Amino acid sequence: MNDRKTIRIALTKGRLEKDTVGLFEKIGYDVSQLRDKGRRLILEIPGADIEVVLAKAADVITYVEHGVCDMGVVGKDTIDEHGGRFFEVCDLGFGRCRFALAGQKGFDFYKGCGVKTIATKYPNVTRRFFEAKGMDVDIVKIEGSVELAPLLSLSDGIVDIVETGTTLKENGLEVYEDVSPISARVIVNPVSMKLKKTAIENLIAEMEKNI
Ligand code: PRP
């Protein structure tokens, strides 16, 4: 458990990190260390009693679950896939995209009653989506560029993140059905929420006010 009075918040490296740093700047925090971080992974916001940790999305959840970080900013995609014991307290509105079922353009995905094969980086999200439909599918886990799977006939479709739709379009694929919306969320360790209640609630309020 991170038991100092400072709030330690883990940010998902990359775009969500940039958007969160922008939000911190809007709040009025000194983000100079965060803007000029080099290869450092733990940074401070001087004068605000906030320490920022930069991590990969799934690791943000791990650090918050273990209480070594009090809070985290992570995409709903990672939350939906990994789950975990934490409070999801706020939707930051940025990092907006969606999970969608997609595949070869013009293919009638729901036609016929054979078991379909779905390639995805998100097997849990995919399983729940088809379970809710009462539809049996085979799921193949792929690590990246999932769009290749239907093109190479490994799968009938994919469940993947769609943001602009450009990757699908440029590869002759199309969305068959939206699965669920995604955006950046703030998560909080339940013990930190009790022990650092006021400081955490104040930070969340500042973030919500400046979204
Ligand atoms: C994500 C996602 C799609 C693409 C969607 O991939 O898996 O491939 O972005 O974006 P678009 O709708 O704006 O084209 P990412 O860039 O994370 O790479 P990956 O496929 O290797 O994981």
Question: Which pLDDT score is estimated for 1?
Answer: 55
Query: What Rg do the C-alpha atoms of the chain give, in angstroms?
Result: 20
Whether 1 maps to a domain, the answer reads no
In this prediction the pTM is 0.94
Question: Which pLDDT score is estimated for 3?
Answer: 56
Containing structural domain, residue 57:
7-95+183-209
Ligand 1 pocket, 160 CB below 6 A?
A: yes
Ligand 1 pocket, 14 CB below 6 A?
A: no
Question: Which pLDDT score is estimated for 105?
Answer: 97
Considering the domain architecture, whether residues 165 and 201 belong to the same structural domain is answered as: no
Task: State the pLDDT confidence band at 5, using cuts at 50, 70 and 90.
Answer: confident
Question: Which amino acid residue places its CA nearest to atom 16 of ligand 1?
Answer: 145
Whether 58 maps to a domain, the answer reads yes
Considering the domain architecture, whether residues 158 and 81 belong to the same structural domain is answered as: no
The more confidently predicted of residues 2 and 176 is: 176
Output the CA 198–ligand 1 centroid distance in Å: 38
Considering the domain architecture, whether residues 23 and 68 belong to the same structural domain is answered as: yes
pLDDT digits (tens, 9 = 90+) for 64-114: 999 999 999 999 999 999 999 999 999 999 999 999 999 999 999 999 989
Output the CA 82–ligand 1 centroid distance in Å: 19
Work out how many domains the chain is built from and give that number: 2
Amino acid at 135: M
Residue range 178-199: mean pLDDT, rounded: 97
Average model confidence (pLDDT) across the chain: 96
Query: Long-range contacts of range 127-135, CB-CB < 8 Å, 24 or more positions apart?
Result: 129/99, 129/101, 129/159, 129/179, 129/180
Whether 203 maps to a domain, the answer reads yes
Ligand 1 pocket, 143 CB below 6 A?
A: no
pLDDT digits (tens, 9 = 90+) for 109-153: 999 989 999 999 999 999 999 999 999 999 999 999 999 999 999
Alpha-helical runs (H) found in 6-143:
15-27, 32-35, 57-65, 76-82, 123-133
Whichever domain contains 71, its CATH number is: 3.40.190.10
